[in-house]
Amino acid sequence: EVQLVESGGGLVKPGGSLRLSCAASGFNFNDAWMTWVRQAPGKGLEWVGRIKSESGRRKSEADGATIEYAASVKGRFTISRDDSKNTLYLQMNSLKTEDTAVYYCSTAPITIYGVVIKKGFDYWGQGTLVTVSS
C-alpha cells in the first residue's frame, strides 16, 4: 500500500524557518518524481514545486529543471530528497504570514522529452499544517 506521511509542521514566527518531511512507502521512491502542494485555510490548492528522481535528473533538460518552484516560494523554499531514507523534504526559510497553509506531498508526473510517461498526483499525504504568526 502506498503511503505518504508528512511531518514537521507547526507554529513559526515571520522570518523564521521550518523543514517539512514526507516519508514514502509502498512504491519505488527512487524512481518517483515528487511534488509539494499547499492550501491556505479556506482557500484553494497551490502548487509549490517538484523534484525529479536522480535518474530523471540525468535525462532531458526539455523536461524542466531538476527542481521547479512556484514564483511565490522561489528563493525561499528548497525541495530535496534522501532516497536512502525514502524521504522528501521542504526547507522553508524567510517565512511569511501568507505561507500559512496545509502542506501536502504527492507524486509528480514523470516526463521524457515532454511526454508524460507516468501520471502524477495519484497519491497524497494527509498534510501538515504550517502556521506563520507572531
Partner 1 sequence: EVVLTQSPGTLSLSPGERATLSCRASQSVRSRYLAWFQQKPGQAPRLLIYAASNRAADISDRFSGSGSGTDFTLTISRLEPEDFAVYYCQQYGSYPFTFGPGTKVEIK
Q: In this chain, which of 11, 40, 62, 116 binds partner 1, going by CB under 8 A?
A: 116
Stretch 83-102: interaction string toward partner 1, x if CB under 8 A: --------------------
Using DSSP, state whether 12 is helix, strand or coil. Answer: strand
Take residue 52 and report the three cell numbers written for it. Answer: 525529479
- Going by C-alpha positions, the residue among 82, 90, 89, 77 that lies closest to residue 54 is 82
CA 9, CA 20: separation in Å to the nearest integer? 6
Q: Considering the rule CB under 8 A, would residue 124 count as an interface residue with partner 1? A: yes
CA 20, CA 114: separation in Å to the nearest integer? 29
Q: In this chain, which of 41, 114, 117, 134 binds partner 1, going by CB under 8 A?
A: 114
Stretch 7-36: interaction string toward partner 1, x if CB under 8 A: ----------------------------x-
Q: In this chain, which of 85, 98, 119, 133 binds partner 1, going by CB under 8 A?
A: 119
Alpha helix (H) residue ranges in the chain: 54-57
Q: Considering the rule CB under 8 A, would residue 103 count as an interface residue with partner 1? A: no
Whether the CA torsion 128, 78, 131, 17 is positive or negative: it is positive
Using DSSP, state whether 94 is helix, strand or coil. Answer: coil
Is 83 or 120 the residue whose CB approaches partner 1 more closely? 120
Q: In this chain, which of 5, 23, 120, 131 binds partner 1, going by CB under 8 A?
A: 120
Residues that bind partner 1 (CB under 8 A): 35, 37, 44-47, 50, 64, 68-71, 104, 109, 114-116, 119-122, 124-127
